[in-house]
């Protein structure tokens, strides 16, 4: 430390001591008042959380709360309207809390809770409430995937499952009524991305009940269960699936084919629906946690695409490929050497990558989640229309690990050179690391198990880049795969806003991504269809990643030799998922403490 820095440090220390000495000590009455306000606030948080669990019974079961084991969430418009009214009541109660008297931690908790409630209320003004079906799923996939979200260890678990299967006809009827109301209001999904959607329903309309995925929980009896009890529940489930579930799925298929599909929209943009432009502007603010307009987001995307493209040109040169960028893209898309031949080869590649990263994590963090993660193939009934991979967080009660789901269909369209970036994003140090750690932090439940998409997906994309810090992307091709994935997220800013706010067609979006990324045309098409049916969500990734990179660069510059990458990452993750403005405040405070 040079002399001027030493003087500054001493003056800062003296100032801190003098400020502390001159601050009036709280009286016992003030302390009591603070404790009372905090206690009142925390009691209200508990009330709100209990309401969340009651409204989401299968989620409650996954957390070990068994009070609602005989229920499923009510998807009706009437239930939604009641939920919004209850949300307004909670907002009024939270706004009556004396925020100034709360502890620092609870000031932040209050801020985040109010933001969540306000977003829910604001969103209810739009026709998005009718859009309970995307090209990736709908009411039926919520039912057919139910077993993956529930525990199966004892008789009560199986009884609960059978009871819930019996509710499926009512759930499907209410879901159909909500979708039908959307059609009447002019809110439906576009035609192109929903092409062939009926197959995701038909695949579950089986002649033999034993072929239904709903029977999967009965593949193996838990050691703690009585055989007679297990066989009894198995027989009951088979009867309910045959007599109730499958007929309700047939009815839903008829509704989709005869009513919904014929009323699909030709225009893919949300702005083509009544109030759609305002709806999309709301989605942009919600998913980016900023006040940016669609135009501003679009322009950021164009800038990022130009920057990343320049880096891709450099990598092409490093690979020694002589030709145009388009020719290099075609070479990557058509050379069979870059693609797995079997599902096992793709799964094995992911496992090796992640085991290597497991050993590198101490170079990136000092705090780690206790919950492990595993790998699974994406179920075949949804794999064809869904993305190349995704992650499901662990059960809140510790009964189920986190899982990285990998798409093993269309293997000739899923290159191995992208597997490093994909796996680091979805598992570690990406989604599993962040989400599992958040569930173990001393935070209110709404923050442990909630999520701010810009943070969660921003961290996932940032995690891809962390491979550069610990020895991944050793070949030009894997590094091009990383850049292609980053370019993919930058293109999202352009094409999502392009389609939903600027009148772009689906083909324009596909062509733009094909021109600028190394992704296969199959992946590009699936992704564009996702953005069409899920407006705004795709904007979160690049927005969050850019903010984290900005804060890292600031930390490195201001701290110099004091900067420790591990501690920076700990600081980013130590508050769970937060809006980007809150993250910035937290990192600025961390920089000050490090100094």
The pLDDT score that the predictor gives to residue 165 is 98
Q: What six digits make up the tokens of 175?
A: 């879901």
**Dihedral pair phi/psi, residue 67, rounded to 5°:** -75, -20
Do 148 and 57 share a structural domain? no
Contact 473, 559 (CB under 8 A): no
Q: Is residue 10 part of a domain?
A: no
Residue 505 contacts by C-beta under 8 Å, 6 or more apart in sequence? 268, 499
Domain boundary among 266, 291, 307: 266
Domain tally for the chain?
A: 3
Q: What six digits make up the tokens of 544?
A: 């969050």
The pLDDT score that the predictor gives to residue 35 is 66
pLDDT tens sequence across 90-143 = 999 999 999 999 999 999 999 999 999 999 999 999 999 999 999 989 999 999
Do 226 and 196 share a structural domain? yes
Closest CA relative to residue 539, chosen from 312, 281, 309, 277:
281
Q: Is residue 570 part of a domain?
A: no
The pLDDT score that the predictor gives to residue 383 is 86
Place of tokens 């009330």: 47
Do 369 and 243 share a structural domain? no
Closest CA relative to residue 314, chosen from 302, 301, 325, 327:
325
Domain boundary among 125, 157, 178: 125
Closest CA relative to residue 73, chosen from 139, 128, 25, 11:
139
Chain centroid to Cα 382, Å, comes to: 17
The pLDDT score that the predictor gives to residue 209 is 97
The pLDDT score that the predictor gives to residue 520 is 83
Do 430 and 307 share a structural domain? yes
Within 13 Å of residue 537, how many CA atoms lie on the same side as its CB?
12
Domain, as residue range, for 170: 139-266
Domain boundary among 531, 547, 563: 547
CA distance linking residue 54 with residue 65, whole number of Å: 10
The pLDDT score that the predictor gives to residue 27 is 41
The pLDDT score that the predictor gives to residue 380 is 85
- Name the region of 460 (left: φ>0; alpha: ψ -120 to 50; beta: rest): alpha
- Name the region of 503 (left: φ>0; alpha: ψ -120 to 50; beta: rest): left
Do 291 and 262 share a structural domain? no
3-state DSSP of 11-62: HHHHHHHHHHHHCCCCCHHHHHHHHHHHHHHHHHHHHHHHHHHHHCHHHHHH
The 8-class DSSP code of residue 440 comes to T
Q: What six digits make up the tokens of 311?
A: 């880096």
Do 428 and 358 share a structural domain? yes
Contact 163, 70 (CB under 8 A): yes
Mean pLDDT in order along the chain per 10 residues (595 residues): 33 28 38 74 97 96 94 98 98 97 96 96 97 94 93 96 98 98 98 95 96 96 95 98 98 98 96 97 97 97 97 96 94 94 98 98 97 94 84 90 96 95 98 97 94 96 98 97 96 98 97 90 91 97 98 98 98 97 97 95
């Amino acid at each position: 430390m040079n002399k001027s820095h030493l003087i500054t440090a001493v003056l800062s220390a003296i100032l801190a001591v003098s400020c502390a000495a001159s601050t009036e000590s709280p009286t016992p009455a003030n302390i009591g008042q603070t404790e009372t306000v905090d206690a009142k606030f925390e009691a209200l948080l508990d009330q709100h959380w209990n309401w969340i669990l009651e409204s989401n019974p299968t989620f409650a079961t996954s957390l070990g709360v068994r009070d609602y084991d005989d229920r499923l969430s009510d998807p009706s418009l009437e239930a939604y309207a009641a939920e919004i009214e209850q949300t307004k009541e909670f907002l009024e109660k939270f706004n009556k809390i004396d925020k100034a008297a709360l502890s620092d931690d609870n000031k932040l908790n209050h801020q985040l809770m109010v933001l969540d409630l306000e977003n829910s209320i604001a969103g209810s003004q739009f026709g998005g409430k009718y859009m309970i079906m995307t090209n990736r799923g709908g009411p039926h996939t919520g039912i057919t995937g139910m077993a993956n979200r529930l525990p199966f260890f004892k008789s009560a678990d199986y009884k609960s499952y059978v009871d819930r299967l019996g509710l499926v006809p009512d759930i499907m009827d209410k879901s159909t009524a909500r979708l039908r109301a959307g059609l009447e209001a002019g809110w439906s999904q576009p035609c192109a991305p929903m092409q062939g959607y009926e197959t995701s329903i038909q695949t579950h309309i089986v002649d033999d009940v034993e072929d239904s995925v709903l029977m999967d929980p009965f593949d193996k009896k838990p050691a703690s269960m009585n055989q007679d009890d297990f066989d009894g529940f198995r027989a009951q489930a088979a009867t309910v699936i045959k007599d109730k579930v499958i007929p309700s799925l047939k009815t839903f298929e008829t509704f989709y084919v005869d009513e919904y599909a014929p009323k699909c929209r030709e225009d893919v943009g949300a702005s083509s629906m009544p109030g759609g432009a305002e709806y999309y502007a709301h989605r942009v603010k919600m998913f980016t946690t900023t006040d940016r307009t669609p135009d501003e987001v679009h322009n950021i995307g164009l800038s990022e695409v130009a920057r990343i493209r320049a880096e891709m040109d450099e990598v092409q040169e490093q690979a020694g490929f002589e030709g145009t960028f388009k020719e290099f893209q075609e070479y990557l898309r058509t050379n069979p050497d870059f693609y797995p031949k079997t599902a096992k080869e793709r799964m094995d590649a992911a496992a090796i990558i992640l085991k290597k990263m497991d050993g590198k994590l101490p170079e990136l963090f000092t705090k780690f989640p206790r919950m492990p993660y595993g790998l699974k193939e994406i179920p075949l009934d949804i794999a064809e229309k869904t993305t190349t991979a995704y992650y499901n967080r662990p059960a809140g009660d510790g009964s189920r690990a986190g899982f990285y789901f990998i798409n093993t269909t269309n293997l000739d369209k899923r290159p191995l050179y992208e597997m490093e970036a994909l796996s680091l994003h979805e598992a570690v140090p990406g989604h599993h690391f962040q989400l599992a750690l958040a569930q173990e932090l001393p935070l209110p439940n709404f923050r442990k198990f909630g999520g701010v998409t810009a943070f969660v997906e921003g961290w996932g994309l940032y995690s891809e880049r962390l491979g550069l810090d610990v020895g991944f992307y050793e070949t030009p091709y894997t590094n091009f795969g990383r850049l292609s994935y980053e370019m993919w997220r930058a293109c999202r800013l352009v094409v999502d806003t392009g389609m939903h706010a600027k009148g772009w067609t689906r083909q324009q979006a596909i062509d733009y991504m094909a021109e600028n990324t190394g992704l296969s045309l199959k992946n590009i098409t699936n992704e564009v269809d996702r953005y069409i049916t899920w407006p705004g969500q795709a904007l979160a990734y690049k927005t969050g990643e850019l903010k984290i990179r900005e804060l890292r660069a600031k930390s490195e510059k201001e701290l110099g030799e004091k900067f420790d990458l591990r501690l920076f990452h700990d600081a980013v993750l130590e508050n769970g998922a937060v809006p980007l403005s809150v993250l910035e405040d937290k990192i600025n405070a961390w920089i000050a403490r490090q100094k």
